[in-house]
C-alpha cells in the first residue's frame, strides 16, 4: 500500500490489536480454568480482531469495513444500554469511543489512504 497511513487509522489499528491480544489472553486463561464454549468464542473473536487490525495497518478496505461494522454495533449497544439504564458511564464512554473510531476511519485522509 502506497502512501502514509493517517495517525487516526494507526490509533484504531493499535487499539484493535491490543483489544484482540487481551481477548486471546483472557480466552486462554478461561480455557486453562476449564471454561466452555465462551472461551472458544472469545478466542475466535480475539484472533479475528487481530487479523482486522493487521488489515488496517496494511490499508485493506475490507478491514476498515469490518471495523466500522463493529463500531456501529458497539454504538447501538451503548445507546441501548443508556436507554435502559445499564451502566450509564461505561455505555457513554463506549459510545463515544465508537464514534471517534468511525471518525478516524472515515476522515478525508483515511478515505484517501484506503482508496489508493
Q: Where are the domains of the chain?
A: 7-108
At residue 1, does pLDDT exceed 50?
no
Query: pLDDT digit string (tens) for 54-103?
Result: 999 998 999 999 999 988 988 898 899 899 988 888 889 888 988 999 99
Q: Read off the pLDDT of each residue in 36-46 and give the average, rounded to a whole number.
A: 87
81 CB burial (10 A radius; 0-12, 13-18, 19+)? middle
Coil, strand or helix at 17: helix
* pLDDT surpassing 60 at residue 2: no
pTM: predicted TM-score of the whole model, two decimal places: 0.79
Q: Exposure pattern of 11-39 as b/e (b: 16+ CB <10 Å)?
A: ebbeebbebbeebbeebeebeeeeeeeeb
Residue 13 has pLDDT above 50, yes or no: yes
Amino acid at each position: 500500500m502506497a502512501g502514509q497511513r493517517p495517525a487516526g487509522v494507526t490509533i484504531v489499528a493499535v487499539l484493535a490489536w491490543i483489544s484482540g491480544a487481551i481477548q486471546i489472553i483472557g480466552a486462554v486463561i478461561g480455557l486453562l480454568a476449564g471454561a466452555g464454549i465462551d472461551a472458544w468464542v472469545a478466542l475466535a473473536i480475539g484472533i479475528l480482531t487481530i487479523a482486522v487490525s493487521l488489515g488496517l495497518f496494511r490499508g485493506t478496505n475490507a478491514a476498515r469495513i469490518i471495523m466500522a461494522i463493529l463500531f456501529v454495533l458497539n454504538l447501538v449497544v451503548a445507546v441501548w444500554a443508556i436507554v435502559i439504564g445499564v451502566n450509564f458511564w461505561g455505555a457513554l464512554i463506549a459510545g463515544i469511543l465508537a464514534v471517534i473510531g468511525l471518525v478516524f476511519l472515515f476522515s478525508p485522509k483515511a478515505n484517501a489512504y484506503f482508496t489508493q
